[in-house]
Amino acid sequence: MTVPIRTGKVVPLFPVGGAEVLVPREIRWPGGTEPCPAAPLLAAGLRRRGLRVADGIVLAGSGPPRHLPPHERAALAPGWAGAPLGVPGPALAVGHLCKGHGEAMRAELSAAARALRPRRVLLTAPRSFCAGVERAIRAVERALAEHGPPVHVRKQIVHNTHVIEDLAGRGAVFVDELDDVPEGGLVIFSAHGVPPSVRARARERSLRVVDATCPLVSKVHAEARRFAGRGDTVVLIGRRDHEEVIGTAGEAAAATVIVEDAGDVASLRVPDPRRVSYLTQTTLAVDETADVIDALRKRFPALRGPRSDDICYAATNRQAAVRAVLPDADLLLVAGSPNSANSRHLVELAHRLGTPAHLVDRCEDIRFSWLRDAATVALTAGASAPPGLVERLAGVLGGLGPVTVTERVTAVETLRFGDPATAGLS
């Protein structure tokens, strides 16, 4: 949508599809273009206040738009005569105010104004995709390229909204159960793994399977079978409803008990306290898991565990990277979806260490109130979040004032997993 306005003259902008406020992506006039990178934040804030918002491009006349009567339009822009609140910073909004909504608009613009300031942005490294996530995404992309759409995937291939939307747009079909896959069809198992019962059901329905289970999760599955095979009770530390935990527990269902935190250990009953082993969900927070293992050791002194830590190297590295920047940060923003365990744990880690932190699935999730006192913002991304999301977040912050971006590298990841086997799928 492109909406013309002329300097010094009110030109009706609406109705436009029933919207009450226009928040432009950019403002153009003959002498230049003013991008509005923070526009998504303002638009989302106005929607949360109950306004119907449209976005688009505003065309100005011979010069930058001037501030128009407050009950008809509102503007927040750098150096423009009469800019409301007298604050500098990139353009955020030019919009028509319908009767009765002026207070909501003024409140949101006021919140935006308090968030305008120069900032330092600290990017953690490593961040974003891990080797297991990249492998799983490649499996879907390869299947689409070789077999064409639709390609069915059981559950979400990885826990990220952007990845799922992208692959769905290219022909991937995400299903909850194998009965939703056509008989004899092609199905991909997600990076989180599946229990043996799902593999058996795939054989019953003659499905062609590409197993994109992360190799580190497959390692935990093998350990569960080995521990149960030697007669141990397997204590699995993790979230009961997480797909990875469901898959791991299914490998030795009769011998496995699940504990979520140290508090669960006190009530734990096992057939033989001398024969107890533990495993962990790969995406847990390192310090929280250590507390649970300590509680298990106190309760079961003969406790045995895996030869190496089950927690994924990527989860460990991203948690260490966050720890390294938190002393210098006023706020941590974690790019990731709500159902991403490793992303949520980064937020929880910051909270335990006393730094405000928020999970951000989309730029629109950011609230101006978070940024009011945040001169230094740390940005990171969970292992299932696309790298481009962090770049977009940094760009949005740049729409609220000058930004200096610095990357803090705490580890360099070089691990890469080979693609899942696809023999016999043609």
Does 214 count as an annotated binding residue?
A: yes
Sign of CA pseudo-dihedral 148, 152, 158, 159: positive
Strand partners, 96: 73
Of 116, 109, 117, 83, nearest in space to 23 by CA: 109
Q: Is 312 annotated as a binding residue?
A: yes
If we measure between CA atoms, which residue out of 342, 320, 334 comes closest to residue 390? Answer: 334
Which residues are within 8 A (CB) of 99 and not within 5 positions of it... i.e. 6 or more apart? none
Residue-wise DSSP of 318-344: HHHHHHHHGGG-SEEEEE--TT-HHHH
Confirm whether residue 358 is marked as ligand binding: no
Q: How far apart are CA 78 and CA 86, in angstroms?
A: 9
Whole-angstrom distance, CA of residue 369 vs CA of residue 201:
50
Select from 387, 331, 334 the least CA-distant residue to 365. 334
Question: Of residues 244, 260, 364, 407, which has the active-site annotation?
Answer: 244
CA distance 253 to 415: 32
Using only C-alpha atoms, the chain has a radius of gyration, in whole angstroms, of 26
Q: Is 72 a known active-site residue? A: no
Residue 315 tokens, joined? 């989860």
Measured at the CA of 229, the angle between CA 187 and CA 225, to 5 degrees, comes to 25
Determine the Cα–Cα distance for residues 26 and 39; give it in Å rounded to an integer.
9
Identity (one letter) of the amino acid at 183?
Answer: E
Q: Dihedral of the CA atoms 19, 364, 134, 242 (nearest 10)?
A: -100
> How many whole angstroms separate alpha carbon 85 and alpha carbon 394?
25
Rounded to an integer, what distance in angstroms lies between the CA atom of residue 262 and that of residue 134?
33
Neighbour-count burial of 351, counting CB atoms closer than 10 A to its CB (0-12 exposed, 13-18 middle, 19+ buried)? exposed
Residue 317 annotated as binding?
A: no
Q: Which of 383, 380, 387 is nearest to 409 (CA)?
A: 380
Helix and strand numbers, DSSP H then E, in the chain: 13, 18
Residue 343 is assigned to a ligand binding site? no
Beta strand segments in 286-330, E: none
Name the phi and psi angles at 383, rounded to 5.
-65, -10
- Is 2 labelled a binding residue? no
Active site residues: 244
Annotated binding site for dimethylallyl diphosphate: 159, 192, 242, 340, 342, 384
Residue numbers belonging to the annotated binding site: 130, 159, 192, 214, 242, 282, 312, 340, 342, 384
Binding positions for isopentenyl diphosphate are: 159, 192, 242, 340, 342, 384
Which residues line the annotated binding site for [4Fe-4S] cluster?
Answer: 130, 214, 312
